Structure formats: structure tokens, C-alpha cells
Structure 1
Amino acid sequence: MERHLPRLHGSALRRLPGAADPVEDLLQLLKEGTPMSTADAASLKRRYDEVSPKYDQGGPNAMAIKLFWLTYEHLTWKPVEALLPRDGTSWRVLDAGGGGGKFGTRFAEAGHHVTVLDISPGMLEGARAQFGVKGLLDRVTFVEGNVAALDLPDAAFDLVFCEGDPVSYCLDAYPSAVKELVRVAKPGAPVVLGVDNRYEAFSGALKMGRPEEAFRTLQDGRTTCPYGLPVHAFTVRELEQAVAAAGAELLEIFGKPVMFFDMLKAMAAARGGSSDKPWDAWAAREEILAMQEKLAHEGFAVLGQHFQVMARRRA
């Protein structure tokens, strides 16, 4: 559904020729969001219809954040890919909040049938275009719907994937959303959720000079996405409780990416970058991906930009 821009105060990415400061650009994007006190289906649908034509096309400094999203997508996909059958079996996959088609097309390319569900018709059209370009329309069904009230049968899917923070948009109704996502999974089937991290939202607000907002977020988890919509940022305990109450077994919660820009800053210093010859982070991307993959699964979840929840519906 939606990718949150990283909340940053420093960057080890070298500036591209002619580009503005990537950190300042990102902060400005975040500051331009218009806060909303409530989130409802109509507001969410309307906002994503508005942004759908340019969704996943990057911002004014797309190249500067390319490495961040490369890492984010790598960390998201690798543990999910490991769950998929290797014997040619075709699974039924629910990509809930999957408008845009970024991950849905990956499932289809692997031979699975994907149901892409999104609250925004505009986002679904974006997904349809992606599947069409790749010749995958015979492997997808598009459904307009709300993750908190799925009009889908029980135990219908071999894997449920809900990435891009749809559950965070449900605000106080997030327990219902988690229950719905588990309900439509077959017994024993994986359920994968991507949500906002409260510590990251809190520290991001502080870095942007919004201490009062940071304190409110710390207390109740309420924050705002770059598109001006309210979201719920989670604690690990909230996720543990929601997954258990939904009838699923929690396998892992990890952060993605973890300490990303601080790590790049440290790597730049260690590699001897200078103002005359900046360290080229993009050239070192394979090393960065390997380090992030290791850190993400070594107990640094709370220091991740987002949480990824790996669970399984109880048999």
C-alpha cells in the first residue's frame, strides 16, 4: 500500500552531481504531510487514489534513497521467498494492501496465483499495469477491500502477505485486521505483516524538531505518514499480543532496515571516504545488504525503520 520515507537526520550516501541534500529533501517531504486526526476508509481510499499515478516512482531525490529501498525490499522478500515451495507447487497468495504490485508480481513470477487486495482503485490499477507489463495477468485477481473487514472466505490462502503498513492504517482496529488476515490463511500457513515501528516514529519526530509530537507518539503510537494520513506505530509487545489473539504462532519480529544511515556513516569513515573522494555506498551495496541481513536478525528489531512480523496460523 504505502512506503514510508525514512526519518533521517544524517546520511552516508554521497550526494549525486547536481542533487540537493538528500536528508533535507526527505525531511521536507515528511514535513509536507498534513496531519489528520482520524483515519477512515474513505480518506485512505481518496488519498491513495490521488498518489497512485506516481506511486513507487520515487521522490525528488529518488537516486539518493535508492540504496535504502533496495535494502528494505531485500530484507522484506528474502525470508518470504524462503517459505515458498520448491517443488513446483502453485500457492494461492493474498497480497493485502498490495496496490502497486511490487511484491505481488514476484509471487506470480514464482508461479503462484496472487489475489491483490487494496482499498484504493487507483492503486489496483497501478498493480494491474505492473502485472500486464510482465505478462502475468493470468496469475492474478484484483479485489477492492479493507484489511480490517475482508470479504474473503476462511482458510483460503497458502500464504498471507500484508506489506507496506496496511495494518498500521487501521489504528485502534489493528487487532481486528490481524485477526482477519490470520482467518483467511489456511491452518499452518505463513502470515507476514509489515508495520510501523514506534521507536522509529518517536526518534524521527525528535530529529525533525517535533518533541511534543514525539512524546504523544511514544505514549499512544499515533503518528502520521508522509501522505498526511494517521497511522499506528507498534511496540513489539503489541505485535506479540495481536498475533497470539488472532490464533497464530509468532515466528520472528525483525527490523528493516536496521540502523541504516548510521551504519553507512560508520562504514564511510572506516573505508576512508573524504570530501575529495567520497565513499561510494552504491558500489558497496552487496556488502551493505549482507551486513543488514545479519543485523536485522540479531536482536536489533527496535532499531529498524519498520517491523516485519513472521507468523503462522495455528493448525
Structure 2
Amino acid sequence: MSPTPPADELDGIARFWDDAADTFDDEPDHGLRDAGVRAAWASRLRTWLPGSPSDVLDLGCGTGSIAVLLAEAGHRVTGVDLAPRMIQLARAKLADAGLTATFLVGDAAEPPARAVDVVLARHLVWTLPDPQAAVARWVSMVRPGGSLVMVEGRWSSPDGASYTDEAPTLPWGGGVAAADLADVVRPLVTALRVERLSDDDLLWGRPVTDERYALVARV
């Protein structure tokens, strides 16, 4: 299966996320409006990314909350999202913060080909019809010595269903277990570690009971 759905499906998926954009930040871990939640994410990012300014590709960037933290840390950020409204809000968010980043409307499964130091994807692979192909493409974009950082989870048993009638069926529609994602990534990288995040209530703004984690791989 190609990682890219047909154009009409992509248009429908973009409309779905456009419709969600204006309330997207209402979730504590999306908007990072609470100072404690924001600080928790900033702290984690510092442990996952290089300390020196790096070229970071933020895939499925949404409204740009993570991009703000990355830019504040001095990284050169490019955000990609399929939904034009998400990108519009991300640009405004960075401008309001007095920060700069590049934001592109496009398919995060097949981002523009360019070499970067870090590819970062948060809660993205569950939306993709061919997540394995997307992960392989992302790894191919990372410079030697760089990192792939994926914040993911599993909140239900994947059943092939989609979150919208406009999207194709999804192999990881209910999320993906850390062990399964590690099995996909491990042959593509030189080293990886999995960091459990389920028990860090501050990250989510509330207690969670499902599996949430970060996979950090060296390329």
C-alpha cells in the first residue's frame, strides 16, 4: 500500500482536521495552556533533542504548541500538517510568541525531502494508512547521528476502522503498543529506547490509564 491516500481522500482528511482545529487546543496536552503541562513537555523535549540548535521537522504539527517549545529552545523548526487551518493557527501562535518557524501544508507521511537533525512526530502514526512506510521515509531524512522522536500510545485495540469516513482503514487506528512500534523502527536505526509516559500526569493534564510513551532512536 502506498503511504499516500488518493487526492480526494487527502482532501477529506484535511477537512476533518480543519474542522477540529479551532477547538484542538482545548485538550491540555494539545494547547499547553497550563504552565505545569507546558513545563512538563519542555522538560521532556530537552532530554529527547540535542542541546545545541538543530534542524527539527515537526510532523503533524497541529496548532504549533510543540513547535513553540522547540523554537524557544533555539531549534530551527519546520512544521508540516495536512490541515490548512492547523497551519494557519500554528503560524499565528509562533508570531504571537515572537518566534520564527516554517510551516507547510502537506502530507506528514511524505514530507518534503530534506535532510534534518531530528524528525519528531507526536500522536501521528495512528492516522496513517501505511505507518511502516512513513516511518521508513522519516528515518531516511535524518542526518547520520540524528534522531527520530515519536510520542505515541495505544488507547484501544486497532480494528482497521478509521476516525472519519473520508479516511482509509487504519492498521494502527487505536494506537500502537511500544513493543510493536519498536519492532518496526529497530531495523532502521542504530539504537533506540522507549520512555514510559503514562504515569506522568502533568504531561496530559490529568491521569491516564492507557499506554503512552516516547520512542527515541538514533540514526
User: Alpha carbons of 1:255 and 1:147: their partners in 2 closer, same or farther (altered >3 Å)?
Assistant: same
Mark the runs of 5 or more structure 1 residues left unpaired by the alignment. Answer: 1-38, 202-216, 261-288, 293-301
User: Alpha carbons of 1:123 and 1:111: their partners in 2 closer, same or farther (altered >3 Å)?
Assistant: same
Q: What is aligned with 1:117?
A: 80
User: Alpha carbons of 1:228 and 1:150: their partners in 2 closer, same or farther (altered >3 Å)?
Assistant: closer
User: Alpha carbons of 1:56 and 1:104: their partners in 2 closer, same or farther (altered >3 Å)?
Assistant: same
| Residue in structure 2 matching 1:41, options 2, 7, 10 | 10
Whether the 8 Å CA contact 1:75–1:257 is kept in 2: the answer is no
1:312 aligns with 2:218: yes
1:97 aligns with 2:71: no
Report the alpha carbon displacement of residue 306 of structure 1 after superposing the two structures with TM. 2.6
Whether the 8 Å CA contact 1:147–1:180 is kept in 2: the answer is no
Q: What is aligned with 2:182?
A: 240
Q: In angstroms, what is the RMSD of aligned CA positions?
A: 3.4
Structure 2 counterpart of 1:151, one-letter code: P
TM-score, reference length from structure 2: 0.76
Distance in 2 (CA, whole Å) between partners of 1:112 and 1:106 is 9
Instruction: Write 1 or 2 for the structure with the bigger share of strand.
Output: 2
Structure 2 counterpart of 1:168, one-letter code: W
Distance in 2 (CA, whole Å) between partners of 1:223 and 1:72 is 31
Q: What is aligned with 2:4?
A: none
**Sequence identity of aligned pairs in percent?**
24
Is the partner of 1:186 in helix, strand or coil?
strand
Structure 1 counterpart of 2:104, one-letter code: V
| Residue in structure 2 matching 1:181, options 138, 147, 167 | 138
| Residue in structure 1 matching 2:23, options 44, 51, 54 | 54
| Residue in structure 1 matching 2:104, options 143, 149, 170 | 143
Distance in 1 (CA, whole Å) between partners of 2:17 and 2:127 is 12
Structure 2 counterpart of 1:54, one-letter code: T
1:254 aligns with 2:196: yes
Mark the runs of 5 or more structure 2 residues left unpaired by the alignment. Answer: 1-7
TM-score, reference length from structure 1: 0.55
Instruction: Write 1 or 2 for the structure with the bigger share of helix.
Output: 1
User: Alpha carbons of 1:195 and 1:85: their partners in 2 closer, same or farther (altered >3 Å)?
Assistant: closer
Distance in 1 (CA, whole Å) between partners of 2:164 and 2:196 is 23
